[in-house]
Amino acid sequence: MKFLITIFLILSALIDISNANAQSASIENNLLTLRIHKQQVAVESKKCPDLKVKNILLPGQIVSSGKAETTDNLWGKGQSLEAHYNDGRKVTFTLYDNNPFLYIHTVVKNESGQDIRVNRLEIASVEMSIGEMSKPLNTLGSGGFAPAQQAQGSYTYTLLAEPDSRHSILTAWLTQKQGIGLMTPKLDKSKKTYKVKAELEFGNYLVRNGKERDTDILLIGFFEDGREGLELYGDYLAKAYRIQLPSKPEIYCTWYHRNLSGSGASTEKLLLENADFARKELAAFGLNTFQIDDHWQSSMEMPKTELGTGPLKTFAENNSNFPSGMEHTAKHLEKKGFTPGLWFMPFSGDVHNPYFPKEIFAKHRWTDTPYEVKKWSGTCIDATSPAGEIFLRERFKRIYNWGYRYYKIDGLHTGAPSENIYINRSYDGIPVYGDARLYNDEYTFTQCFRKGLSILKEEAPGVFLLGCAATQNMSSLGASFGMVDAMRVGPDNDGAIQGVWGKTTAGADYAGNLYFLHNKVWYNDPDPYFVRNSNPLNKTRWMVSWQAVSGVMNTTSMQYSELEPERLDIIKRALPTHNLNARPIDILESNKPQIWMVKNDRLIVLGLFNWNEQRHTKIDYGLERMGLKSSENYELFDFWDNKYLGNIKGKLSQTLDPASCKVLAVRPSKSHPQVISTSRHITQGLMDIKEESWNPDRQILSGTSKVVKGDKYELRIIVPEKFAIRSAKSNGGKMFIQKEGKLVRVSFIPQKSGTINWNIEFK
């Protein structure tokens, strides 16, 4: 990918661009070199010579620049160049050892003689010279995949990639503690340039006269493989925010399982009946959390017709759906072995309900009235207000004392004054924050948002927090980094209950381009998959397979006893969810990634997905490009067809029916027997086989598997022609043998749940 990059660091629209000489200096690490000379900054990649930064032009006059050695507790040793401007601003460029990112940090100093207040600040404009564009370039951002000609505005990050080589440039925000990181790309064919404008939106950014104030850190990285760049970025986010995720829950949610005014929570009776059924049928497979959704709360005696739009927002008392109360329900769920979970809207109130004191709310900037969101989300509670903080602490403590340890926190964007612009995904220039003011105007809106979540975490220690939903207003995406354990990254997908194709694929679509956040910054939540008969089997398998292979949050929403055994069994094959990092192999080259891979030291699992509801699709993909060895033979087993597919070399070729998928277990061919697949889980031994070994002297294949009592367990074994089974034994039950050519199936019905050892002797 032959293109050059020019980066303009826009520090003020009023700065006069000058050619005045500034002192020359340079810094470098083993991957990058950066130079400042005569108002120009140049960056050169040592590892990717075709990714060159020709200039970082700094509008305005650099009055001085200096080099310094630096050491950071997180990033280690490095070198910094500090550029001082004639308006008092300071930009620090840093390169850390063995680090492919350039760090750009701007500090604003106010020497104007009066306080300065802005809503947003343009930090950098990255201009890339793309030459003749002999090869098409693609982009990836919060809005998804697009050719460079159709690049969309993005939140948090944007990636430009040459799909054949995968060489990529990643522009991304390392921190979003002061403001929301925005990216606006623009292709200029006449100038043969591609420009990304990087901004921070604060809602309110006040710099007192004579003071200076921080902004957030922008990264620019150059990568031979853009996927590796995204994955490293996810690692760095987790490092920067010091994130340590709790265990991932496996969830039942009430939201979609019955109709109540169109949708809503279950009832106390149905919920406990469902818990009884799940304890017998699904708990051993991994289901461990029962979450109650909307319609549990009362209006506090106010007629709903007199209240604002959207859900009731008191969250203080139960309604008639849960007559014994929320504390009683939580205790019963816990007795049945499940973590009790509850949905509520942490920062939402209702100015029309006298239950809420008016002084707790953020205010409209000009009218000084409570800031009420126009659609659904309610009135924004101001965490910087003493009254607002007291109200929030009492709300959070009350729910915690009821016994709930999993929270689905909806309307999350109302943690700062902002509108509900659902479905929001890409950035289109519309302000993310509302025209409002906070009680404490020293806070940016992003800081207010994070303070509210800090209060929640203080009052509910150890509770698993699922943010919901980023698509209501993407201000809640980056601002939630380090504050929540999981995030609903897509819209409601209830249409998938009836097999509506756009809803069936929505979770995979919205979570796919944020895959690098999963397991690192938080767990991506795509919303439930649906196994009911109303969702055709091929579409059900599509949803469940994508969830199982990608490893995202596993949520179901159904009265389980109403499912046919075959449909209930699909849930069992998806529980629990793996904790490995899956990768969309073709994400830089396909509008929707068709190939997902997850692997461990023993097994490779490929998920193949046809995104077209009407047409077949043919997948032809080189194994080497997939990260496998082109010189090796690989054995394949298809989970849903329950069929050994033989072996391949050099290329994977599969045809998928419309709206269908395949999940393939893949292992390099061996000269001795090996397990290619199991029946326990869609991932076919990725999780359930804990150990497998071949003893060539004794001709014994042995291993350890995690099984579920009463659930038939089958080992699918590739047996080369020179071998034949002599015997099969386990400490889990009598084993049965079935030969199908080169494939041998060895099965048994476990007498108990847990790990079992098995030995298969050959002759």
**Mean pLDDT for the chain?**
93
- Tens-place pLDDT, residues 732-748: 889 999 999 999 999 99
The CATH number linked to 425 is 3.20.20.70
Structural element, H or E, at residue 744 = strand 743-748
CA distance 722 to 613: 45
Domain boundary among 239, 273, 290: 239
Domain that includes residue 211, residue range: 22-239
d(CA 448, CA 586): 39
Whether the Cβ atoms of residue 512 and residue 592 lie closer than 8 Å to each other: yes
Where residue 132 falls among pLDDT bands split at 50, 70, 90? low
Domain harbouring 154, CATH code: 2.70.98.60
For range 367-382, the mean pLDDT: 98
**Same domain flag for 192 and 294:** no
Paired sense of beta strands 339-344 and 406-409, if any:
parallel
The DSSP-derived string for 192-214 is TEEEEEEEEEEEEEEE-TT-EEE
What is the total residue count of the chain? 763
Regarding whether 322 and 228 lie in a shared domain, the answer is: no
Q: How confident is the model at residue 385 (pLDDT cuts 50, 70, 90)?
A: very high
What's the pLDDT band for 13 if we cut at 50, 70, 90?
very low
pLDDT tens per residue, range 603-646: 999 999 999 999 999 999 999 999 999 999 999 999 999 999 99
Give the pLDDT score at 646.
98
Judged against a pLDDT cut of 80, whether residue 517 lies above it is answered with yes
- 269 Cβ neighbours under 8 A, 6+ residues apart: none
Residue showing tokens 């949050």: 553
Same domain for 394 and 291, yes or no, is yes
* pLDDT value for 52: 64
Return the SS3 of 453.
helix
339-344 and 116-129 strand pairing: unpaired
Shared domain for 222 and 333, answered yes or no, is no
The answer as to whether 207 is a domain residue is yes
CA dist 364 and 379 (Å) reads 11
Question: Cα(63)–Cα(19) distance, rounded to whole angstroms?
Answer: 11
Distance between CA atoms of 639 and 641, rounded to whole angstroms?
A: 6
- Percent of the chain scoring above 90 in pLDDT: 85
For residues 228 and 276, state if they share a domain: no
The string of pLDDT tens digits covering residues 394-417 is: 999 999 999 999 999 999 999 999
Give pLDDT, residue 126. 84
Pairing assessment for the beta strands 464-467 and 486-488 based on DSSP bridges: parallel
Q: Is the pLDDT of residue 14 over 50?
A: no
Kindly state whether residues 307 and 412 are assigned to the same domain. yes
3-class DSSP state for residue 574?
A: helix
Pairwise CA distance, residues 105 & 102, whole Å: 10
Q: How far apart are CA 529 and CA 653, in angstroms?
A: 28
Q: 314 and 363 share a domain? A: yes
Whether residue 392 is contained in a domain is answered as yes
With a CB cutoff of 8 Å and minimum separation 6, the contacts of 181 are 155, 156, 157, 172, 173, 198, 199, 200, 216, 218, 478
- State what percent of residues in the chain have pLDDT above 70: 94
**Within a domain: residue 199?**
yes
Quickly state the pLDDT bin for 12 (edges 50, 70, 90): very low
DSSP string, 146-192: EEGGG--BEESEEEEE-TTT--EEEEEES--SSSEEEEEEEEETTTT
Q: How far apart are CA 579 and CA 249, in angstroms?
A: 11
Residue 612 in any domain: the answer is no
- Residues 217 and 291 grouped into a single domain: no
- Cα angle vertex 95, ends 166, 187, to 5°? 45
How many CB atoms sit inside 10 A of residue 426's CB?
16
pLDDT for 192: 79
Contacts of 119 (CB under 8 A, 6+ apart): 201, 202, 203, 204, 205, 431, 433
> Of 46-60, 61-75, 701-715, 724-738, which range is least confident?
46-60
Q: Is residue 691 part of a domain?
A: yes
Q: Does 48 map to a domain?
A: yes
Last residue of a domain, one of 572, 603, 634: 572
What is the mean pLDDT of the segment spanning 435-459? 99
Chain-centre distance for alpha carbon 484: 11
Question: 236 by DSSP, 3-state: which?
Answer: helix
Q: How confident is the model at residue 125 (pLDDT cuts 50, 70, 90)?
A: confident
Contact at 8 Å (CB) between 125 and 198? yes
Least-confidence region, from 6-20, 419-433, 446-460, 586-600 = 6-20
pLDDT band with cut points at 50, 70 and 90 for residue 2: very low
- pLDDT at 56 exceeding the cut of 70: no
CA distances from 26 to 5, 6, 42, 695 (A): 18, 17, 9, 58
Domain count, the chain: 3
> Residue 466 has what pLDDT?
99
pTM value > 0.85: yes
Tell me: do 102 and 220 sit in the same domain.
yes
Question: Are residues 350 and 469 both part of a single domain?
Answer: yes
Please tell me the distance from the alpha carbon of residue 17 to that of residue 57, in angstroms, as a whole number: 10
Residue finishing a domain among 518, 538, 572: 572
Compute the average pLDDT of residues 231-256. 98
43-57, 150-164, 178-192: the lowest-pLDDT one = 43-57
Residue 38 pLDDT level (bands cut at 50, 70, 90): confident
CATH number for 686: 2.60.40
Kindly list the strands in the beta sheet with 3-8, ordered across the sheet, starting from the edge strand earlier in the chain. Answer: 25-28, 32-37, 40-45, 51-57, 3-8, 116-129, 193-207, 180-188, 154-155
Identify whether residues 340 and 293 lie together within a single domain: yes
Interatomic CA distance for residues 251 and 255, integer angstroms: 12
State the DSSP H helix or E strand holding residue 274, giving kind and residue range, or none if neither.
Answer: helix 268-281
- pLDDT tens for residues 278-328? 999 999 999 999 999 999 999 888 888 889 999 999 999 999 999 999 999
CA separation for the pair 478, 453 (Å, rounded): 13
Residue 133 lies in a domain: yes
d(CA 547, CA 531): 13
Same domain, 134 and 188: yes
Q: How confident is the model at residue 583 (pLDDT cuts 50, 70, 90)?
A: very high
Nearest in space to 667 (alpha carbons), one of 654, 653, 681, 686: 686
* Residue 55 near residue 37 (C-beta atoms within 8 A): no
Q: How far apart are the first and last CA of the chain?
A: 55
**Does residue 578 sit within a domain?**
no
**Those residues with Cβ within 8 angstroms of residue 190's Cβ, 6 or more apart along the chain or in another chain:** none
Residue 591, Cβ density class (10 Å: 0-12 exposed, 13-18 middle, ≥19 buried): middle
Other CB atoms closer than 10 Å to residue 282's CB: what's the count? 21
547 CB-near residues (< 8 Å, 6+ apart):
507, 526, 529, 553, 554, 574, 577
pLDDT grade, residue 690 (50/70/90)?
very high
Name the band, by pLDDT with cuts 50, 70 and 90, for residue 544.
very high
